[in-house]
Amino acid sequence: MVKCLITRPNHDKVTEYLSAWSSEIIKSGELKGISFLDLHGENASKKKVESYLFKQSPEVVLFNGHGSPSKVCGFKDEVLVENNINDFLLKDKIVYSLSCSSALVLGQSAIKKGAKSFIGYKQSFILCTDKNREATPLKDNIAYSFLEPSNRLSISILNGSSVNEASYKSKEEFKKEISKYSSTKSIPGADRVASALLWNMNNQVVLGDKESKI
């Protein structure tokens, strides 16, 4: 059984969306033989993350939440893992961080400390949403275009793809969504959505061993 630690804080609109959409990974019918260590809501705390990383030794870690170049955050933006503080806990793990800019410093540092691979974003992750769907994020078709490509990456890793293949599949999904918005005239300003998707796609990077897989 492969262990996957997933953090899903939900203290503001953006994290509510990330939390809801990443629950689709846990529920995915495509995955077999995965044991999820799900740190949802206030359970996405530094204490629990450190304890799970240390004692349960998950092969895959999926961070969802806010971040910065040097850290990823949990519930109420508590720092979960930070460059040169506790990033050694990511040793031997495949990490995907859906949080702003964390590939820039934390990702590089985690690889130096022995993480197998770190997939993340070099700059801010941009999320477009439909205000009329805030209460039901999973029914938000605009958010789908941003978060389905991200879920594709996580599901591919957990299905045994190499991290490079997983990122490729994610970027193919991004391209499909970009083309949807750049070629329509039915939504005014759809180019803005396409440009945000392109931004995320171009900022997604794979660090460390690109061929690593579970």
Footprint on this chain of another protein (rule: CB under 8 A): 12-14, 66-67, 77, 99-101, 123-132, 142, 178-179, 182-185, 187-196, 198-199, 202
Q: Which is nearer to another protein, 9 or 208 (CB)?
A: 9
Q: Which is nearer to another protein, 33 or 188 (CB)?
A: 188
Q: CA 83, 104, 110, 155: dihedral to nearest 10 degrees? A: 120
Least Cβ distance, residue 212 to another protein (angstroms): 27
Least Cβ distance, residue 75 to another protein (angstroms): 13
Mutual orientation of helices 141-158 and 163-182 as an angle, nearest 10°? 160
Least Cβ distance, residue 33 to another protein (angstroms): 33
Q: Which is nearer to another protein, 37 or 126 (CB)?
A: 126
Least Cβ distance, residue 140 to another protein (angstroms): 10
Of the chain, the end-to-end C-alpha distance in Å amounts to 11
Of the candidates 108, 213, 111, the one whose C-alpha atom is nearest the C-alpha of residue 162 is: 213
Compute the distance between CA of residue 47 and CA of residue 87 in angstroms, rounded to an integer: 14
